[in-house]
């Protein structure tokens, strides 16, 4: 969660690294709509969490309009304060995330993904998570660090660190030798 301006700039920098972008320029607004969306998401998080003054509250309300519009245009339902730094949305398309979900740093997420509530509880995902297209994650589960989730998997139970999971319902299909490797 962004707690101050330093965090805000850190989140922006990590998100750009996740998209393999070294420097932001005006052309990026048109060349990379998902990163533009993420930058607006991070700005909203900063104003919601850090700027409690009158001007900050007004600017937060003003920013909600373009954020809502971009959410509709790109097919995202991504609330504030869910993802840690290093978020990479691969491309636009249907992505629906519950407000209470918590995801660690360095998450790469693809389209047609739904992370939601099950029996009143929501998932907690660790760091370095790869979520392939079509994945459904729900319930009060915990996904460990360095986990890759295969396409169209339905995840309804917890999994440990350093694994690749896939299937309906999801199960471990392999263990990662190296914590940084992505098998999918």
Task: Examine residue 132 and state whether it is found in any structural domain, yes or no.
Answer: yes
CATH of residue 130's domain is 2.160.10.10
* 12-59 pLDDT tens trace: 999 999 999 888 888 877 888 999 999 999 999 999 999 999 999 999
In a domain, 141, yes or no: yes
Residues 98 and 170 both lie in one domain? yes
Same domain, yes or no, for 105 and 171?
Answer: yes
Task: Give me the number of domains the chain comprises.
Answer: 2
* Shared-domain flag, residues 118 and 72: no
Residue 116: give the domain boundaries.
Answer: 94-175
In a domain, 11, yes or no: yes
- Long-range pairs of 48-53 with CB within 8 A, sequence gap ≥ 24: 48/80, 48/81, 49/1, 49/2, 49/3, 49/81, 50/2, 50/3, 50/4, 50/5, 50/8
pTM, entire model? 0.91
Query: Is the same domain home to 58 and 114?
Result: no
One domain, residues 70 and 133: no
74-94: per-residue pLDDT in tens?
999 999 999 999 999 998 899
Identify whether the C-beta of residue 144 lies closer than 8 Å to the C-beta of residue 90.
no
Residue 184 lies in a domain: no
The mean pLDDT of the chain is 93
């Amino acid at each position: 969660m962004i707690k101050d301006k330093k965090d805000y700039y850190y989140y922006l920098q990590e998100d750009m690294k996740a998209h393999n972008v070294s420097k932001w320029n005006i052309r990026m607004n048109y060349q990379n709509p998902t990163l533009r969306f993420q930058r607006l998401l991070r700005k909203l998080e900063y104003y919601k969490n850090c700027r409690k003054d009158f001007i900050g509250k007004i600017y937060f309300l003003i920013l909600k309009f373009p954020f809502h519009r971009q959410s509709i245009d790109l097919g995202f339902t991504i609330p504030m304060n869910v993802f840690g730094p290093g978020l990479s949305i691969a491309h636009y398309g249907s992505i629906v995330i519950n407000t209470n979900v918590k995801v660690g740093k360095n998450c790469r997420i693809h389209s047609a993904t739904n992370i939601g509530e099950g029996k009143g509880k929501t998932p907690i995902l660790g760091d370095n998570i790869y979520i392939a297209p079509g994945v459904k994650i729900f319930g009060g589960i915990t996904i460990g660090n360095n986990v890759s989730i295969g396409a169209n998997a339905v995840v309804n139970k917890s999994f440990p660190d350093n694994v690749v999971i896939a299937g309906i319902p999801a199960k471990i299909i392999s263990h990662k030798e190296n914590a940084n490797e992505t098998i999918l």
